[in-house]
Amino acid sequence: MYTQGLDSPGREALHASSPDTAALEARFQARVDADEKIEPKDWMPEGYRQTLIRQISQHAHSEVVGMLPEGNWITRAPTLRRKAVLIAKVQDEGGHGMYLYSAAETLGISRDQMMAQLLSGAAKYSSIFNYPTPTWADVGAIGWLVDGAAIMNQIPICRCSYGPYARAMVRICREESFHQRQGFEIMMTLARGTPEQRRMAQDALNRWWWPALMMFGPSDAESRHTAQSMRWKIKRFTNDELRQQFVDITVPQARFLGLEIPDPHLRWDEASQHYVFGPIDWAEFQQVLKGNGPCNRERLEARRRAYEQGRWVREAALAHAEKQRQRAAQAA
Ligand code: FAQ
């Protein structure tokens, strides 16, 4: 839907390398400042295009790799209802990946290029999906915390300056909100269950809490892209602002569940009206980004295998499209 007519550059794009570039940049920034949406054929600075390609493609990879930790539980979900809901959720994540790859394609990168970047390890995907899911409670914790963090980060992207990304996020956020509630409901069932089930829920919270906080990215002081992305209104809040909002909303939810956040430094600060939380282990975050998290190798291996196993489907679809094209040409 997004890629129609993109091979013919917009009128302004033809002049992009002219001496008027500074004027084009000023006009572009004025449109962003006025909250106008930038569309695929509009002129845009190369840095804006590359930042969006990086962020949207990494976001798409995260959705697709993010199917794996929960997918691990589809065959072992405790009831038929849980299984049906989990299949639907995991399928939604695959759909989010597809919308996002389409949105990235409008910026001039192909699906094949993005796949190559993921499979070679050149492109990142969210650190959170490199952690294992050893118990059913992890499915609850992912929905509650990981989808919860994803929504916190993604609702502002519905107002991103780039039209196709912003529009894709509207539907994605609606679905993520259903995912968050199903996760919280699993946690509630476990927290109100037997002592063993309560222990499982607490153990999952202990393992997912800190990685969920890391999902928001490095601290503002360390974030290399935030300042420029805020000027371009790709990001509307900084990493630390969103992390704080997530903590403020999630701590009362944990209390409601009767679970304890695994942070001895956590306290409510009356003056700032925020929770103060303990230091994040950024060395662990950096290790996961370097490919040394608990499941990095396994995740990429699974994606490489899926890509190889799907090769015949891609080839068959292309052959079918070519046959259709030839038939249409003969009929014309
Ligand atoms: N993991 O300068 P910043 C989901 C990288 S979707 C890995 O702050 P930026 C749905 C960053 O790329 C979850 N890498 O960067 C779901 C950059 O490296 P680069 C994904 C990270 O872009 C739920 C470097 O660090 N969501 O969960 C991470 O301004 C359940 C410097 O960082 C999105 O992608 C990280 N956590 O801010 C699915 C949302 N954080 O590229 C299944 C869109 C940072 O220069 C089940 N993305 N890095 O080599 C964003 O909002 C932003 O890209 C941030 C990072 C906030 C993630």
**Cα–Cα distance for residue pair 161/235, rounded to 1 Å:** 9
Element spanning 290, H or E: none
Å from CA of 215 to ligand 1 middle = 7
**Cα–Cα distance for residue pair 143/65, rounded to 1 Å:** 15
> Ligand 1 atom closest to Cα of 153?
51
DSSP annotation of 155 = T
Q: Is the CB of 66 under 6 A from ligand 1?
A: yes
Check residue 2 and give its pLDDT: 40
What are the start-end ranges of the H helices in the chain? 21-33, 46-65, 67-71, 80-105, 111-120, 137-141, 148-154, 163-191, 195-214, 226-231, 239-257, 282-287, 296-309, 311-331
- Taking 50 as the pLDDT cut, the residues of the chain under it are 1-16
Check residue 17 and give its pLDDT: 55
Check residue 254 and give its pLDDT: 98
Q: Is the CB of 63 under 6 A from ligand 1?
A: yes
Å from CA of 62 to ligand 1 middle = 8
Give the residue, by CA position, lying nearest to ligand 1 atom 53: 55
Give the residue, by CA position, lying nearest to ligand 1 atom 42: 66
User: φ, ψ for residue 235 (rounded to 5)?
Assistant: -105, 140
Residue 294, Cα to own-chain centre: how many angstroms?
A: 20
Residue with tokens 């930042």: 51
Phi-psi region of 291 (alpha: psi -120 to 50; beta: other; left: phi over 0): left
Q: Which of 124, 178, 246 to mutate to test the pocket of ligand 1 (most atoms within 8 A of CB)?
A: 124
Å from CA of 90 to ligand 1 middle = 20
Å from CA of 123 to ligand 1 middle = 11
Check residue 19 and give its pLDDT: 60
Q: Is the pTM of this model over 0.75?
A: yes
Å from CA of 153 to ligand 1 middle = 9
DSSP letter string, 90-141: HHHHHHHHHHHHHHHHTTT--HHHHHHHHHHT-S---GGGGS---STHHHHH
Check residue 4 and give its pLDDT: 39
Check residue 92 and give its pLDDT: 97
Element spanning 34, H or E: none
